[in-house]
Structure 1
Amino acid sequence: MFTGIIEAVGEVVEATPKSGDLSLRIRTGKLDLTDVALGDSIATNGVCLTVVDLPGDGFRADVSRESLSLTTIGQWRPGQAVNLEKALLPTTRLGGHIVSGHVDGLGEVISRHRDARSERFRLRAPDDLARYIAHKGSITVDGTSLTVNRVEGAEFELNIVPHTLAETIMGSYRAGSAVNLEVDVLARYLERLLQGAEQPQGSGLTEEFLAENGFR
């Protein structure tokens, strides 16, 4: 699990096709790897990758066909900058929100413009993910935990402060940029509960119950 608070910006060194999937080598820059062991997880542009080698200046990871089909990894080339975050510890401050590192789908940057010292971004999500995106809710974009400022159908807006622009790859986004999206896991679980799958009889969890208790 992760928090969506980016710890460093790394760089793709190698992206090598291997028997139908992909082997990655990532240079991690200022990310402290002294407490990272083989088998640990590092979120890379929001994708939970398992460390299979530690060459000294970064790590290697294998990427399955499933991950290639759901993320931007297949588009990565040597020299590309990526957001990095190590898996959280029990003592980690939860400054963002609960992030699994399991990308739900690809979004697209529609536009960006200045707003005082911040930047306003407008993105489009896949139609099947749009229902999980709420005004003032949380969303993960390339591994960064962000607050949704406005929603219109499958499009949503973000206000990005200078610190986030400087410490993540968001400063490089342009209209047409593809991004990894992970919706708030609480929204997914809530939807599943409302579907009533294997729900114990008399549990009382209904849309009316939620509305009466402030979940609107």
Structure 2
Amino acid sequence: MFTGIVQGVATIAEVIKAPGLNTLVVRFPEAKVQGVTIGASVAINGTCLTVTRQDGDLLYFDAMQETLRLTTLGDLAEGDSVNFERAARIGDEIGGHLLSGHVHTTAVLAEIIRTENNVTLWFEVPESWMKYVFPKGYIAINGASLTIGEVTGNRFNVHLIPETLRATTFGTAEQGQSVNIEIDSQTQAIVDTLARLGYDRPAPAL
């Protein structure tokens, strides 16, 4: 499990491609790899991956074909920056919301609005996932736990403070890029339960 509180930004040092598998070699800030063991879980841009090898400040992760298909990890190249979070431990503070690291879908950064001390990002999501997106609800974008602002059509926005921009890759985000989305599990459970009970259907005509 993860908390959605990004612990830093790492750099893709190398991508080793094989049929149906990419090995991501990721360079971490030195202090952030202390105590890492083979088999540990680390979220890379919100995707839960397993450490397969360590070489100093380099950690190796295998991303299988299904992961590459469902996330943006297949687009990563040498030199790219990524958000990371090591798995939560019992007793850790939950500053964001509980995440599994299982990406549901991807979204496109459609618009960036910059004002003094704030940045608003608008994302476009596949229509089928918008039923889980509500104003003031939780969502994880590239592994960062964020609060949804406005929702309209198949778009929603988030408002970012300078600290979030500094501590994550959102500070260098560009319009048109794709991001990983993990829907809040509690919201998904409630919406799906109500749908099974028939509460998602239009009211009958009188």
Structure 1 partner of 2:179: 179
Contact 2:12–2:25, Cα closer than 8 Å, also in 1: yes
Give the C-alpha shift of residue 14 in structure 1: 1.1
Contact 2:131–2:191, Cα closer than 8 Å, also in 1: no
1:1-216 → structure 2 map (5 Å cutoff): 1-30=1-30, 32-196=32-196
Distance, in Å, in 2 between the alignment partners of 1:175 and 1:139 is 19
RMSD over aligned CA atoms reads: 1.5
Give the C-alpha shift of residue 158 in structure 1: 0.8
Give the C-alpha shift of residue 34 in structure 1: 2.0
State the SS of the aligned residue for 2:109.
strand
Q: Percent of aligned positions with the same letter in both sequences? A: 33
Distance, in Å, in 1 between the alignment partners of 2:131 and 2:140 is 15
Give the C-alpha shift of residue 137 in structure 1: 0.3
Please say which of residues 141-150 and 184-193 is displaced more in the overlay: 184-193
Distance, in Å, in 2 between the alignment partners of 1:16 and 1:61 is 10
Alpha-carbon spacing, 1:63–1:31, altered in 2? closer, same or farther (3 Å)? farther
Q: Deviations over 1:109-151 (max 9, x none)?
A: 1111123311011111111111111100011111111100100
Q: TM-score by structure 2 length?
A: 0.92
State the SS of the aligned residue for 2:166.
helix
Give the C-alpha shift of residue 62 in structure 1: 0.6
Give the partner amino acid of 1:110.
Answer: A
Give the C-alpha shift of residue 58 in structure 1: 2.5
Give the partner amino acid of 1:56.
Answer: G
Contact 2:8–2:83, Cα closer than 8 Å, also in 1: yes
Distance, in Å, in 1 between the alignment partners of 2:127 and 2:180 is 15
